[in-house]
Chains A and B, each alone.
Chain A
Amino acid sequence: MTDNLLEGREDPARDSGYPQPPPRMGFFTDTSVCIGCKACEVACKEWNLIPDDGLSLLGMSYDNTGMLGADTWRHVAFIEQDRPLGRQNNAVALMPVGPSSAARNAQVVAAGLGDQHGARLGSETGATRLGPSPDGGPAQPVTADGRTELRWLMASDVCKHCTHAACLDVCPTGSLFRTEFGTVVVQEDICNGCGYCVPACPYGVIDQRKDDGRVWKCTLCYDRLSVGQEPACSKACPTDSIQFGPVDELRERAAHRVEQLHDAGVVEARLYGADPDDGVGGTGAFFLLLDEPEVYGFPPDPVVTTRDLPAMWRHAVIAAVGVAATALAAFAGARR
């Protein structure tokens, strides 16, 4: 394990000073069973009284939310891919069809999103992959003019409740704090709106609400957890795509699910955020994905942005001592 982190090691709650914390709680979001109903988004907004995010048709398949933000703590991404799911037979073989629209659509969407989302939109939606499957699976049927079959990925994103949370490290007011459940929560009555945490988050989760200046994000329903209830989104999810529980148990369950999918021939199934040795020490909310993280708009190799702070401080101290010594020497020299 790395020792370069300001906050938290393996057991974030205990490391934050809770002597007898309950088990660390989190989410396992299994995107392979998500049906894109967005019940999680709505349940989250209802419970946490989050205002609506504005009415804009984004053209990103059925996703009109775009990304997580101050007023969106769950975001269901829809990704249309030219890639077969299972062993479907291509009914449009030999059809006079044109190339995929994906690239063209992506341009329109990016232009429309502008500064609001565009710059932070990391996903490569609907990438066309032709020929043999990159995972060594069966070759993909391709039409005469290059169109393949379609796969529609859905995934519900949320704050990762990092083991090493940069947002927490940089918060000067103590508004962001580690709960006894090992989660990361903002106290809205303490937040002064300085916004340091916004660029600190390696996932672009935490965000400032324009009209009040304070930052908002998923609390993993701290109020519900405190009285023994599960968070609103996992409660509402009809397919158990969002599972809530002790992180240890969820990691076990997730590993089992990946095995099960691999056995069923879904070789591309993988976990994201479940590894305690990754750049953020593993996340309390982790995911099962069916493609590269970038496809879903996740950073492939997130690193806690405060990782180098201790080293930077050391350098700063050395530099400061150096400057002071030079100045002293100069004065000493001048007196002579």
Chain B
Amino acid sequence: MLTTYRLTEHHTAGGMSRWLPYLSELQPEMFCEVSPELADTAGLDHLGWATIVTARAAIEARVLVTDRMVPVRVHDRIVHQVGLPYHWGRNGITTGDSANDLTHMALDPDVHIQEVKALTCDIRPGRRPRGPDRRRLVEEYQRRAGISATTGTTHRTTERLGKSG
């Protein structure tokens, strides 16, 4: 599972704060946080590179291995978590891949706010492929997962109302 969050040093996608030296030096690079267990399983090194892949995109980030990330047990399955701040992009003093490239377009069914706090992903060591290879990597994942252009486009609220009504 992947989740995204803010850091105190940056503002939204970093469009303003990544241009300021005093804030950029405090959080100078896009990173992903993983537990020591996930680092062992996936072969990730502290401060090394990792590529994170979801149904929508692949991005790269430096790895922070930390005990603050803990694997959780869900119905007898161990689920690992990947934490991603969402403050990076292409311009500014510090640049990096954007976590928001990965996130899905699902809306919270009750309040219709983009629901970006939990999505599935894969994480592998090393930097992401460049150019068309990056697209091919994502397509390979999509093919294996059986994801098409229509996957996840059902309007769940209507579905639920239909069932109960």
Task: Identify the closest chain A residue to B78 (Cβ).
Answer: A96
Indicate the size class of the contact surface on chain A: 35 or more
User: In the complex, what residues of A have CB within 8 A of residue B93's CB?
Assistant: 55
- Name the residue among A55, A96, A102, A112 with the largest chain B CB count within 10 angstroms: A55
Q: Which of A37, A54, A62, A100 contacts B67 (CB 8 A)?
A: A100
CB distance from B32 to the nearest CB of A (A): 12
Q: Are B8 and A100 within 8 A (Cβ)?
A: no
Q: Please, what's the 1-or-0 string for B18-43, where 1 marks a CB less than 8 Å from any CB in chain A?
A: 00011111111101000111011000
* Minimum Cβ distance to chain B for residue A91 (Å): 8
B28 near A55: Cβ-Cβ < 8 Å: yes
| A61 and B33 alpha carbons, distance in the complex (Å) | 10
Stretch at the interface among B58-66, B105-113, B128-136: B58-66
Q: Is there a chain A Cβ closer than 8 Å to B118's Cβ? A: no
Residues of B within 8 A of A104 (CB): 36, 46, 65
For the complex, give the distance between the alpha carbons of A138 and B22 in Å.
Answer: 42
Chain B nearest CB from A312 CB (Å) reads 41
Given contacts A55-B25, A57-B28, contact A37 B8 (CB under 8 A): yes
Given contacts A92-B70, A95-B78, A108-B46, contact A101 B9 (CB under 8 A): no
| Chain A residue nearest in CB terms to B64 | A59
Which residues of the other chain, B, contact A305 by a CB distance below 8 angstroms? Answer: none
Interface of A is mostly: loop
A54 vs B66: C-alpha distance when bound (angstroms) = 24
Q: Is A99 an interface residue (CB 8 A)?
A: yes
Q: Are B23 and A42 in contact (CB under 8 A)?
A: yes
B160 at the interface (CB under 8 A from A): no
Q: What's the least CB distance linking A98 to chain B, in Å?
A: 5
Which of A38, A92, A112, A147 contacts B26 (CB under 8 A)?
A: A38
A64 touches B46 (CB 8 A): no
- B-chain residues with CB within 8 Å of residue A102 when the two chains form the complex: 67
The stretch of A45-53, A255-263, A271-279 that contacts the partner chain:
A45-53
CB of B52, distance to nearest CB on chain A (Å): 17
B31 and chain A: residue at smallest CB distance:
A57
Q: What is the CA–CA distance of A97 and B78 in the complex, to the nearest angstrom? A: 10
B103 near A: Cβ within 8 Å? no
Q: Does A292 contact B (CB under 8 A)?
A: no
List A contacts of B25 (CB < 8 A): 52-55, 64-65
The 7 closest A-B pairs by CB, nearest first: A101-B36, A55-B28, A52-B21, A57-B29, A108-B46, A59-B47, A52-B25
- 18 A-B residue pairs with Cβ-Cβ distance under 8 Å, sorted by A, are A42-B22, A42-B26, A55-B29, A56-B28, A59-B46, A59-B47, A59-B64, A61-B66, A80-B68, A92-B72, A95-B78, A97-B35, A101-B35, A101-B39, A102-B67, A104-B65, A108-B45, A112-B47
